[in-house]
Amino acid sequence: MNDYYEILGVSRDASAEDIKRAYRRKARQLHPDVAPGREDEFKQVGQAYDVLGDPAKKAAYDRGSDPYADPTAGFGGAGGAFTFSDIMDAFFGGQGGAPGPRSRQQPGQDALVRLDVPLRTAVFGNTEDLTVETAVLCTTCQGDGCAEGSGTRTCDVCQGVGHVQQVQRSFLGQVMTTRPCSACQGVGETIIEPCVDCHGDGRVRERRTLKVKVPAGVDTGTRIQLAGQGEVGPGGGPAGSLYVEIHVEPDSTFVREGDDLHCSVELPMTAAALGTTATVETFDGPEQVEIPAGTQHGEVFTLRAQGVGHLRREGRGDLHVHADVRTPTRLDGRQRELLQELASLRSEDGATGTITSMDDHRGSFFGRLRDAFSGR
Protein backbone atom coordinates (compact mmCIF):
# COMPACT_ATOMS: atom_id res chain seq x y z
CA MET A 1 0.00 0.00 0.00
CA ASN A 2 1.42 3.38 -1.04
CA ASP A 3 1.93 6.09 1.59
CA TYR A 4 0.31 9.00 -0.16
CA TYR A 5 0.77 11.32 2.81
CA GLU A 6 4.51 10.77 2.63
CA ILE A 7 4.54 11.20 -1.17
CA LEU A 8 2.90 14.63 -0.83
CA GLY A 9 4.82 15.46 2.35
CA VAL A 10 1.76 16.21 4.51
CA SER A 11 0.52 14.92 7.83
CA ARG A 12 -2.55 12.71 8.18
CA ASP A 13 -4.56 15.55 9.70
CA ALA A 14 -3.71 17.95 6.85
CA SER A 15 -6.60 20.04 5.53
CA ALA A 16 -7.85 19.86 1.96
CA GLU A 17 -6.13 23.17 1.16
CA ASP A 18 -2.83 21.89 2.64
CA ILE A 19 -3.08 18.78 0.46
CA LYS A 20 -3.81 20.86 -2.66
CA ARG A 21 -0.90 23.23 -1.98
CA ALA A 22 1.45 20.32 -1.40
CA TYR A 23 0.33 18.68 -4.63
CA ARG A 24 0.86 21.86 -6.63
CA ARG A 25 4.33 22.29 -5.19
CA LYS A 26 5.31 18.71 -5.96
CA ALA A 27 3.75 18.79 -9.43
CA ARG A 28 5.75 21.89 -10.32
CA GLN A 29 8.96 20.25 -9.17
CA LEU A 30 8.39 16.93 -10.92
CA HIS A 31 6.58 17.85 -14.13
CA PRO A 32 8.29 16.14 -17.12
CA ASP A 33 8.93 19.50 -18.77
CA VAL A 34 10.84 20.64 -15.69
CA ALA A 35 12.36 17.38 -14.44
CA PRO A 36 12.88 14.95 -17.34
CA GLY A 37 13.32 11.33 -16.24
CA ARG A 38 11.17 11.64 -13.12
CA GLU A 39 7.88 10.70 -14.76
CA ASP A 40 7.24 7.88 -12.26
CA GLU A 41 7.50 10.26 -9.31
CA PHE A 42 5.23 12.73 -11.09
CA LYS A 43 2.75 9.92 -11.65
CA GLN A 44 2.85 8.95 -7.96
CA VAL A 45 2.18 12.56 -6.95
CA GLY A 46 -0.84 12.58 -9.27
CA GLN A 47 -2.09 9.32 -7.75
CA ALA A 48 -1.60 10.67 -4.24
CA TYR A 49 -3.60 13.79 -4.98
CA ASP A 50 -6.29 11.83 -6.81
CA VAL A 51 -6.83 9.84 -3.59
CA LEU A 52 -6.25 12.43 -0.87
CA GLY A 53 -7.95 15.23 -2.81
CA ASP A 54 -11.22 13.28 -3.01
CA PRO A 55 -12.97 13.07 0.40
CA ALA A 56 -14.59 9.70 -0.38
CA LYS A 57 -11.35 8.13 -1.67
CA LYS A 58 -9.40 9.62 1.24
CA ALA A 59 -11.81 8.10 3.77
CA ALA A 60 -11.53 4.71 2.07
CA TYR A 61 -7.73 5.00 1.98
CA ASP A 62 -7.60 5.84 5.69
CA ARG A 63 -9.57 2.64 6.29
CA GLY A 64 -6.89 0.68 4.43
CA SER A 65 -8.18 0.68 0.83
CA ASP A 66 -5.76 1.79 -1.90
CA PRO A 67 -7.35 2.14 -5.37
CA TYR A 68 -3.89 1.98 -6.96
CA ALA A 69 -2.77 -1.15 -5.11
CA ASP A 70 -4.09 -3.24 -8.05
CA PRO A 71 -1.51 -2.91 -10.82
CA THR A 72 -4.24 -3.41 -13.42
CA ALA A 73 -6.21 -0.45 -12.15
CA GLY A 74 -4.13 1.99 -14.18
CA PHE A 75 -3.60 5.64 -13.54
CA GLY A 76 -6.78 6.99 -12.06
CA GLY A 77 -7.67 3.72 -10.38
CA ALA A 78 -11.12 2.53 -9.57
CA GLY A 79 -13.59 5.03 -10.94
CA GLY A 80 -11.10 7.95 -10.86
CA ALA A 81 -9.01 9.82 -13.41
CA PHE A 82 -6.25 12.36 -12.91
CA THR A 83 -7.58 15.53 -14.60
CA PHE A 84 -5.57 17.73 -16.91
CA SER A 85 -7.00 20.76 -15.12
CA ASP A 86 -5.11 19.66 -11.99
CA ILE A 87 -1.84 20.05 -13.90
CA MET A 88 -2.94 23.49 -15.12
CA ASP A 89 -3.86 24.43 -11.55
CA ALA A 90 -0.37 23.45 -10.42
CA PHE A 91 1.32 25.73 -12.93
CA PHE A 92 -1.12 28.63 -13.27
CA GLY A 93 -2.58 28.87 -9.79
CA GLY A 94 -6.16 27.92 -10.60
CA GLN A 95 -8.65 26.87 -8.00
CA GLY A 96 -9.32 23.45 -9.48
CA GLY A 97 -12.45 22.19 -11.15
CA ALA A 98 -13.76 22.94 -14.62
CA PRO A 99 -14.79 26.39 -15.84
CA GLY A 100 -18.42 27.36 -15.66
CA PRO A 101 -20.63 28.38 -18.60
CA ARG A 102 -19.69 31.57 -20.37
CA SER A 103 -22.01 34.49 -20.94
CA ARG A 104 -23.95 34.60 -24.19
CA GLN A 105 -23.05 38.27 -24.45
CA GLN A 106 -19.52 38.79 -25.79
CA PRO A 107 -17.66 42.03 -26.62
CA GLY A 108 -17.78 43.09 -30.25
CA GLN A 109 -14.78 43.53 -32.50
CA ASP A 110 -13.19 46.79 -33.60
CA ALA A 111 -13.65 47.84 -37.22
CA LEU A 112 -11.48 49.87 -39.59
CA VAL A 113 -12.87 51.95 -42.48
CA ARG A 114 -11.36 54.47 -44.89
CA LEU A 115 -12.66 58.00 -45.33
CA ASP A 116 -11.62 60.07 -48.36
CA VAL A 117 -11.58 63.83 -47.68
CA PRO A 118 -10.62 66.82 -49.85
CA LEU A 119 -7.55 68.89 -49.04
CA ARG A 120 -9.82 71.70 -47.78
CA THR A 121 -10.93 69.42 -44.91
CA ALA A 122 -7.29 68.90 -43.93
CA VAL A 123 -6.77 72.69 -44.01
CA PHE A 124 -9.73 73.74 -41.85
CA GLY A 125 -11.25 70.51 -40.46
CA ASN A 126 -14.86 69.54 -41.05
CA THR A 127 -17.67 67.17 -40.07
CA GLU A 128 -17.92 64.49 -42.73
CA ASP A 129 -20.61 61.88 -43.44
CA LEU A 130 -19.38 58.28 -43.30
CA THR A 131 -21.50 55.33 -44.42
CA VAL A 132 -20.55 52.02 -42.83
CA GLU A 133 -21.99 48.52 -42.65
CA THR A 134 -21.48 46.85 -39.27
CA ALA A 135 -23.21 44.47 -36.88
CA VAL A 136 -25.79 46.28 -34.74
CA LEU A 137 -28.16 45.19 -31.99
CA CYS A 138 -31.14 43.20 -33.24
CA THR A 139 -34.14 45.34 -32.31
CA THR A 140 -36.54 42.43 -32.76
CA CYS A 141 -35.16 40.39 -29.85
CA GLN A 142 -33.07 43.11 -28.18
CA GLY A 143 -30.01 40.92 -28.40
CA ASP A 144 -31.16 37.76 -26.58
CA GLY A 145 -31.53 35.83 -29.85
CA CYS A 146 -34.95 34.38 -28.95
CA ALA A 147 -38.13 34.66 -30.96
CA GLU A 148 -41.01 36.49 -29.31
CA GLY A 149 -42.55 34.32 -26.60
CA SER A 150 -39.62 31.88 -26.73
CA GLY A 151 -36.67 31.45 -24.36
CA THR A 152 -33.79 29.14 -23.54
CA ARG A 153 -33.40 25.71 -22.01
CA THR A 154 -30.57 23.80 -20.41
CA CYS A 155 -28.22 22.25 -22.95
CA ASP A 156 -28.87 18.51 -23.33
CA VAL A 157 -25.23 17.77 -24.10
CA CYS A 158 -23.38 19.52 -21.26
CA GLN A 159 -26.32 19.68 -18.83
CA GLY A 160 -25.85 23.42 -18.36
CA VAL A 161 -22.19 23.48 -17.31
CA GLY A 162 -20.97 24.80 -20.68
CA HIS A 163 -18.24 22.22 -21.20
CA VAL A 164 -17.72 18.55 -21.81
CA GLN A 165 -14.97 16.29 -20.49
CA GLN A 166 -13.14 13.58 -22.33
CA VAL A 167 -10.78 10.97 -20.88
CA GLN A 168 -7.78 10.01 -22.98
CA ARG A 169 -4.86 7.72 -22.32
CA SER A 170 -1.32 9.13 -22.39
CA PHE A 171 2.07 8.27 -20.93
CA LEU A 172 0.71 9.77 -17.69
CA GLY A 173 -2.22 7.38 -17.71
CA GLN A 174 -5.76 8.62 -18.09
CA VAL A 175 -5.87 12.38 -18.66
CA MET A 176 -9.19 14.18 -18.54
CA THR A 177 -9.49 17.19 -20.85
CA THR A 178 -12.21 19.83 -20.70
CA ARG A 179 -13.54 21.58 -23.81
CA PRO A 180 -16.37 24.06 -24.45
CA CYS A 181 -19.60 22.35 -25.42
CA SER A 182 -20.06 22.53 -29.19
CA ALA A 183 -23.85 22.26 -28.90
CA CYS A 184 -24.26 25.49 -26.92
CA GLN A 185 -20.84 27.10 -27.60
CA GLY A 186 -20.07 27.00 -23.89
CA VAL A 187 -23.13 28.97 -22.79
CA GLY A 188 -24.86 26.07 -21.06
CA GLU A 189 -28.21 26.94 -22.65
CA THR A 190 -29.73 26.56 -26.08
CA ILE A 191 -32.36 28.80 -27.67
CA ILE A 192 -35.70 27.07 -28.06
CA GLU A 193 -36.81 29.15 -31.06
CA PRO A 194 -34.25 31.55 -32.60
CA CYS A 195 -35.19 35.08 -33.62
CA VAL A 196 -36.27 35.20 -37.27
CA ASP A 197 -34.16 38.31 -37.96
CA CYS A 198 -30.82 37.52 -36.30
CA HIS A 199 -31.16 33.71 -36.21
CA GLY A 200 -30.16 33.62 -32.55
CA ASP A 201 -27.02 35.76 -32.84
CA GLY A 202 -28.55 38.83 -31.19
CA ARG A 203 -27.24 41.17 -33.90
CA VAL A 204 -27.83 41.99 -37.55
CA ARG A 205 -25.81 43.80 -40.20
CA GLU A 206 -26.98 47.27 -41.07
CA ARG A 207 -25.81 50.14 -43.25
CA ARG A 208 -25.80 53.45 -41.39
CA THR A 209 -24.38 56.94 -41.78
CA LEU A 210 -22.24 58.52 -39.07
CA LYS A 211 -21.05 62.07 -38.54
CA VAL A 212 -17.27 62.12 -38.18
CA LYS A 213 -15.56 65.22 -36.84
CA VAL A 214 -12.30 65.50 -38.78
CA PRO A 215 -9.84 67.95 -37.17
CA ALA A 216 -7.67 70.35 -39.14
CA GLY A 217 -4.19 69.02 -39.88
CA VAL A 218 -5.10 65.41 -40.64
CA ASP A 219 -3.07 63.66 -43.29
CA THR A 220 -3.29 60.38 -45.16
CA GLY A 221 -2.94 57.59 -42.59
CA THR A 222 -4.36 59.56 -39.64
CA ARG A 223 -6.80 57.41 -37.64
CA ILE A 224 -9.77 58.68 -35.66
CA GLN A 225 -11.30 56.41 -32.99
CA LEU A 226 -15.06 56.34 -32.52
CA ALA A 227 -15.65 54.38 -29.32
CA GLY A 228 -18.72 52.14 -29.29
CA GLN A 229 -19.34 52.51 -33.04
CA GLY A 230 -17.74 49.22 -34.10
CA GLU A 231 -19.24 45.72 -34.25
CA VAL A 232 -21.88 44.82 -31.66
CA GLY A 233 -20.85 41.57 -29.97
CA PRO A 234 -22.67 38.22 -30.09
CA GLY A 235 -25.72 38.12 -27.88
CA GLY A 236 -26.00 41.90 -28.06
CA GLY A 237 -22.64 42.38 -26.32
CA PRO A 238 -20.98 45.82 -26.09
CA ALA A 239 -19.79 47.25 -29.39
CA GLY A 240 -16.11 47.69 -30.20
CA SER A 241 -14.51 50.84 -31.57
CA LEU A 242 -14.67 52.10 -35.14
CA TYR A 243 -11.34 53.38 -36.45
CA VAL A 244 -11.60 55.83 -39.34
CA GLU A 245 -8.45 56.04 -41.46
CA ILE A 246 -8.17 59.32 -43.33
CA HIS A 247 -7.09 59.54 -46.97
CA VAL A 248 -6.54 63.11 -48.21
CA GLU A 249 -7.32 63.36 -51.91
CA PRO A 250 -4.82 65.07 -54.25
CA ASP A 251 -5.67 68.66 -55.16
CA SER A 252 -5.45 70.04 -58.70
CA THR A 253 -3.95 73.36 -57.55
CA PHE A 254 -2.03 72.84 -54.34
CA VAL A 255 0.72 70.43 -53.33
CA ARG A 256 1.06 69.71 -49.62
CA GLU A 257 4.41 69.40 -47.86
CA GLY A 258 3.87 68.89 -44.14
CA ASP A 259 1.54 71.68 -43.08
CA ASP A 260 2.74 73.99 -45.86
CA LEU A 261 1.07 74.35 -49.26
CA HIS A 262 2.69 75.11 -52.61
CA CYS A 263 1.18 76.42 -55.81
CA SER A 264 2.39 78.22 -58.95
CA VAL A 265 1.30 81.42 -60.67
CA GLU A 266 1.86 81.92 -64.41
CA LEU A 267 3.58 85.18 -65.34
CA PRO A 268 4.16 86.47 -68.87
CA MET A 269 7.78 87.29 -69.54
CA THR A 270 6.94 90.99 -69.77
CA ALA A 271 5.05 91.00 -66.45
CA ALA A 272 7.97 89.30 -64.73
CA ALA A 273 10.35 91.87 -66.19
CA LEU A 274 8.24 94.95 -65.48
CA GLY A 275 6.56 93.81 -62.23
CA THR A 276 2.88 93.30 -61.60
CA THR A 277 0.25 92.24 -59.05
CA ALA A 278 -0.97 88.65 -59.35
CA THR A 279 -4.23 87.33 -57.90
CA VAL A 280 -3.92 83.91 -56.27
CA GLU A 281 -7.01 81.89 -55.33
CA THR A 282 -6.30 80.40 -51.90
CA PHE A 283 -8.48 78.37 -49.54
CA ASP A 284 -9.14 81.64 -47.69
CA GLY A 285 -10.21 83.44 -50.86
CA PRO A 286 -8.34 85.56 -53.44
CA GLU A 287 -5.03 87.06 -52.30
CA GLN A 288 -2.97 89.76 -54.03
CA VAL A 289 0.70 88.90 -54.48
CA GLU A 290 3.10 91.70 -55.43
CA ILE A 291 5.49 90.58 -58.17
CA PRO A 292 8.52 92.88 -58.26
CA ALA A 293 10.21 93.87 -61.52
CA GLY A 294 12.86 91.41 -62.61
CA THR A 295 11.22 88.36 -61.03
CA GLN A 296 12.93 85.19 -62.16
CA HIS A 297 11.36 81.85 -63.00
CA GLY A 298 11.06 79.73 -59.83
CA GLU A 299 11.14 82.58 -57.31
CA VAL A 300 8.92 81.95 -54.29
CA PHE A 301 6.56 84.33 -52.52
CA THR A 302 5.25 83.23 -49.12
CA LEU A 303 1.80 83.95 -47.67
CA ARG A 304 2.02 83.37 -43.94
CA ALA A 305 -0.59 81.22 -42.15
CA GLN A 306 -2.38 80.35 -45.41
CA GLY A 307 -1.48 76.65 -45.28
CA VAL A 308 -2.85 73.60 -43.44
CA GLY A 309 -3.97 73.87 -39.83
CA HIS A 310 -1.67 72.23 -37.29
CA LEU A 311 -3.12 69.00 -35.90
CA ARG A 312 -1.93 69.26 -32.29
CA ARG A 313 -1.32 72.97 -31.81
CA GLU A 314 -2.75 76.33 -32.78
CA GLY A 315 -1.98 78.04 -36.06
CA ARG A 316 -1.46 77.05 -39.66
CA GLY A 317 1.36 76.43 -42.07
CA ASP A 318 2.31 78.78 -44.93
CA LEU A 319 1.38 79.00 -48.59
CA HIS A 320 4.35 79.25 -50.98
CA VAL A 321 3.60 80.74 -54.41
CA HIS A 322 6.14 79.81 -57.12
CA ALA A 323 6.63 82.12 -60.11
CA ASP A 324 6.16 80.29 -63.43
CA VAL A 325 7.57 82.73 -66.00
CA ARG A 326 6.35 81.87 -69.48
CA THR A 327 8.33 82.70 -72.64
CA PRO A 328 6.21 83.32 -75.78
CA THR A 329 6.44 80.59 -78.40
CA ARG A 330 4.64 82.28 -81.30
CA LEU A 331 5.55 85.81 -82.41
CA ASP A 332 4.19 87.86 -85.27
CA GLY A 333 6.44 90.09 -87.32
CA ARG A 334 6.03 93.23 -85.21
CA GLN A 335 6.56 91.35 -81.93
CA ARG A 336 9.73 89.80 -83.27
CA GLU A 337 11.03 93.22 -84.36
CA LEU A 338 10.37 94.68 -80.93
CA LEU A 339 12.13 91.78 -79.17
CA GLN A 340 15.07 92.06 -81.51
CA GLU A 341 15.24 95.78 -80.81
CA LEU A 342 15.15 95.07 -77.07
CA ALA A 343 17.89 92.49 -77.43
CA SER A 344 20.00 94.99 -79.35
CA LEU A 345 19.49 97.67 -76.72
CA ARG A 346 20.52 95.17 -74.01
CA SER A 347 23.44 93.94 -76.09
CA GLU A 348 21.93 90.48 -75.98
CA ASP A 349 21.69 89.85 -79.68
CA GLY A 350 23.92 86.94 -80.56
CA ALA A 351 24.54 86.07 -76.90
CA THR A 352 25.13 82.36 -76.40
CA GLY A 353 24.13 82.23 -72.75
CA THR A 354 25.80 80.49 -69.83
CA ILE A 355 25.68 76.74 -69.25
CA THR A 356 24.21 75.82 -65.82
CA SER A 357 23.44 72.50 -64.17
CA MET A 358 19.98 71.00 -64.63
CA ASP A 359 20.02 70.37 -60.89
CA ASP A 360 19.52 74.12 -60.41
CA HIS A 361 16.01 73.59 -61.77
CA ARG A 362 15.04 69.95 -61.27
CA GLY A 363 16.48 69.75 -57.77
CA SER A 364 14.33 72.58 -56.50
CA PHE A 365 10.89 71.99 -55.05
CA PHE A 366 9.32 74.04 -57.82
CA GLY A 367 11.05 71.86 -60.41
CA ARG A 368 9.52 68.78 -58.80
CA LEU A 369 6.18 70.55 -58.57
CA ARG A 370 6.22 71.49 -62.24
CA ASP A 371 7.29 67.97 -63.24
CA ALA A 372 4.37 66.54 -61.27
CA PHE A 373 1.92 68.76 -63.11
CA SER A 374 3.42 67.94 -66.53
CA GLY A 375 3.52 64.20 -65.82
CA ARG A 376 7.31 63.88 -66.12
- Known binding-site residues for Zn(2+) equal 138, 141, 155, 158, 181, 184, 195, 198
* CA atoms in the 13 A half-sphere facing the CB of 315: 7
CA 280 to chain centre: 42
The answer to whether 234 and 240 have CB atoms below 8 angstroms apart is no
Q: How far is CA 45 from CA 2, 4, 274, in A?
A: 11, 8, 101
User: What residues form DSSP beta bridges with 322?
Assistant: 264, 300
CA 360 to chain centre: 45
Is the dihedral angle over the CA atoms 287, 290, 294, 295 positive or is it negative?
negative
Taking the CA atoms of residue 133, residue 135, residue 136 and residue 142 in that order, the dihedral angle to the nearest 10 degrees is 150
Determine phi and psi for 322, rounding to 5 degrees: -100, 130
Q: Where are the beta strands (DSSP E) in the chain?
A: 82-83, 111-117, 126-137, 152-154, 163-170, 173-180, 189-191, 203-214, 223-226, 242-248, 255-257, 260-268, 276-282, 285-291, 300-303, 319-326
Residues in the chain: 376
Q: Is 368 helix (H, G, I), strand (E, B) or coil?
A: helix
Look at residues 284, 252, 279, 283 and name the one whose alpha carbon lies nearest to residue 266. 279
Would you tell me how many other CB atoms lie within 10 Å of the CB of residue 168?
11
Look at residues 142, 333, 26 and name the one whose alpha carbon lies nearest to residue 341. 333
* CA separation for the pair 297, 56 (Å, rounded): 99
* CA atoms in the 13 A half-sphere facing the CB of 325: 18
Which amino acids are annotated as binding site, given as ranges?
Answer: 138, 141, 155, 158, 181, 184, 195, 198
Number of helical H runs and strand E runs in the chain:
10, 16
